[in-house]
Structure formats: structure tokens, C-alpha cells
Amino acid sequence: MLYVGVDLGTSAVKLLLMDGKGRIEKIVSREYPIYFPNPGWSEQKPEDWFAQTMNGLKELLSECDRSQVAGISFGGQMHGLVILDDQDQVIRPALLWNDGRTYEECDYLNQIIGKEKLSGYTANIAFTGFTAPKILWVKNKEPENFARIRKIMLPKDYIAYRLSGVHCTDVSDASGMLLFDVKHRKWSSEMLEICGVTEEQMAKVYESYETVGNVLPEIAKELDIPETVRIVAGAGDNAAAAVGTGTVGDGRCNISLGTSGTIFISSEKFGVDRNNALHAFAHADGHYHLMGCMLSAASCNKWWMEEIVGTGDYAAEQKDIEKLGENHVFFLPYLMGERSPHNNPNARGTFIGMTMDTSRTDMTQAVLEGVAFALRDSLEVARSLGLHIERTKICGGGAKSPLWRKIMANVLNLKVDMIESEEGPALGGAMLAAVACGEYKNVEEAAEKLVKVIGTVEPEPELVEKYEAKYQQFRQIYPACKPLFELIR
């Protein structure tokens, strides 16, 4: 049988076709526009997502035996607000995960309602990217649109609805809304009341590997696929990517070095750190995960290489870096502010420690190390909860650098595994579809059989010791600079 994974990203939808043994048959991508109507605002039209998804599906399935298509599932950008009226028509463009207009609503939630209550209701606190502040923004700034709301959805779930006719979401994506009781895997009645919405306006919640319905007859006809094709709930992009990297079960870890950076730790047990420095979400495998998200990771290196140094030859700039663990220059990688663990939009990128003998190579090294140190900040929070982690997968554009992988292994003191396929949320979506269709008995079995490790970077005791000393210095820099960030914003 054949399974489709749909990754609804911020710039494009990526569609992947996989057979039951995990072989990737074809990948298609379709772009759509993003709109910035005001500074700090970020919007897209859900109708564009669906149109390009349908175009992509037609190309994806054009050369296969369409009668063998069994299931379609999803990974997708999280937190976005899609609102539908009583005719299931989109009321306004979707507010995206990187939309920053809700700072007043976040202050209200965190300061007036209170972080302790939010954490008790949802296991998380308010961030400008989350969905609940967006609902409050519409309520406060566009009351006429708020009054028309009959359904509240997330981006990938709008595609699932258009394919199946079912208003659905999954536990992992719902966890990022600040409306979901993560521990008990249900909507939080308290948060719904705070936001002025009802449970009837929310989508039905499924586990990521559950079937929500079958493809609509008119969609089946347009795509020339069986009407028995299952539409499967899917997961938020990070949870779907974790499935695609085999980060499921207890104590598994994945690091993503993309534009942003994440450290994703799966756990069989629910847990929240006392400062809510990490996101505590439900996982696509039926359990839970903790996630630290830094807003600038590989993008720090891209900024340094292309904007400052003026080169696109990253490897050439890294070839002279030899004295690991001995650099006297430090870099705070907060070019876009920071989310985990500091939750400070006013934090800024900072070099410190330069002297007259500091070289360009030293500063390049500091950028790579700064990202690793910042990810360790989140790892230390997870360790404080008693999670014992010995190794991690690594993916994303930054993971292609052997040097950066070595720095990660020794700064984090973890074995770092590279995997054969890095197709991220699209692959995870296809795997979830395969589980829902009975190809595998659960997500853990699918990950065990389909995800292959092709190499491992082992930490070196002497280098681990050197980086431990450097990290203890690094972790003192942000608290010292924090008051200055408030002055220069």
C-alpha cells in the first residue's frame, strides 16, 4: 500500500509518497505567499494552502497505482489561527506562528491571569506565537469577526477538514494552542472560558495516529483515488519530525538545527519544569514530550557567514577551526530574541571576550559553540526533571557540518546519531498514516523498522571536560546582559 505525508510549512507544502516498507517513492513541493500587513504581523490564506496541497497531490500521485493509496496524514506549522463561520468559510487570513502582534494579550494572560494558573490549566505559559493570545486579539481588535466564529482550527487541520469534511485536530498540535489540558489530553474548560469560546467551537481531538474519516467522494474523484482512503489526524511539525527521526518512546532525543533550533525529548510520563522554560506537549506516539525552541540556530551561522563575513562557503570558514574547547570568544545566539529557556523577546545576539588577537576563525567558532551552549540550556532543564538522556538524533541544515556535530556531541555530552532520511514532518506524516492503516501496530514499531542510523559522533572525555568549563562561563553571560537588553531594545 501507499501512504501520503503532507507537511504544511510556512513557505511551502511538501508532499511525500511512501510505500509500506518505508521506501520514499516521490516528493513534491508547492509554494504559497505569506503576507506582512503590518510590522510584526504574519498571515497566510488557508485557501492557498488547500489549493497548493491539491495541486501537489495530483503531481505526487501522477505516476503511481492510485488504487494502492491507503492513507493521508500530516505534519504542519503549529499555533496558527484559522477561524471558520457557520458556512465553514474562512473568516480572515490565518495568523501564523511567527506573528508577533499579541504581546498585549500575552501580558494579560501571563500577568493578570497568571503563569501559575496557565501552567496548571495547560502545562504551558503564553508566548506571542501561541493560538490563545491570537483568539484574544481577534476578540479585542476585530469583534465583528470574533462574533462570526463557529470553528477554530490549526493550519494542517484545515487541510484535513477540506479532504475529509471533519473538524479535527490532534493532541500534539492542540498542545501548542494554550487551550489544551496536556496532561489529560482534552480541551481546558478554564482556558476556553478565559478566551470567550466554547468547546463546540473547537475541533474534535484525536491521537496523531487515529483515523478521523475517509476522503470525501468529490476529492476522491478529483484525485482518482479510492473513497476508502483514510484521512489521519497527523501531528504538529516538531512532533511529526520526531516520528520521522524515530524520536518516540521514553527518553529519546532529537536536535534540529534549522532556521530555528529545537531539542525534542520524548517521555512516557507527563512532566513540567517549574519555570515553564520548556514546552510540555502531548506527543504523536500517544505519550508526551518536552521541547526547547531557540529562535535562531543555523540562521545565526547563515547571518554570520553571508551578512558579516560575506561568503557562502561555510566549509572553508570552518576548516581552520581546530582548538575546540579553548575559544576565548563567546556568542549569545539571540538574534531574534529568545524563547527557550529565557522567554525574552528583547534578548539580542552578543559577542563577548574579543581581544586584539581574536581572529575571524575564533568568531566563527563562537557562533557554532553559542548555538550548542544555548541548546544545552534547554537540555539542563530536562535533566533537572530527572530525564536521563545518553544520545540524540540530529537533523536540519546545520547538521550537515561534521564540525558542528562534533561540537554538539561534546558540549551536550551526548552520542549524536545521523539518520539516513531527513524528510522531517512529511515522512512522519506518512508513517502515522501507515500506523492508522494497520501497516504497523504502533508508532514505536514504525520508527524502529523505518528509521536507520548511518553514523554516530561520540563525545570525547577530554573535550567534554573542556566544554563543561566553557559552558559554566557561558551560562553567566545572559543574566549579566539581561538588564542591558531592556535598555537597548
| Domains contained in the chain, CATH given | 2-238 (3.30.420.40), 249-421+459-489 (3.30.420.40)
What pLDDT was estimated at residue 415? 98
Structure pTM?
0.90
- SS3 state at 465: helix
Give backbone dihedrals phi and psi of 254, rounded to 5 degrees, phi first. -135, 135
Query: What is the grid cell recorded at 301?
Result: 551561522
Predicted local confidence at residue 345, as pLDDT: 83
DSSP 345: T
Alpha carbons 469 and 418: distance in angstroms, whole number:
27
79 in a known ligand binding site: yes
Question: For this structure, is 357 an active site residue?
Answer: no
Number of alpha helices (DSSP H) and beta strands (DSSP E) in the chain: 18, 24
**Amino acid, res. 70:** A
- Identify the CA nearest to 237 among candidates 212, 256, 217, 216: 256
Judge whether 238 and 283 are in contact, CB under 8 Å. Answer: no
Helix, strand, or coil (residue 286): coil
Question: Which among 7, 48, 157, 237 is annotated as catalytic?
Answer: 237
Give the pLDDT score at 260.
86
Could you report the average pLDDT of every consecutive run of 10 residues in the chain (489 residues)?
Answer: 96 96 96 93 96 98 97 96 98 93 95 96 93 98 98 98 98 98 98 98 98 98 98 96 94 90 93 89 96 92 96 96 96 92 91 98 98 97 90 92 98 96 90 98 96 96 98 98 90
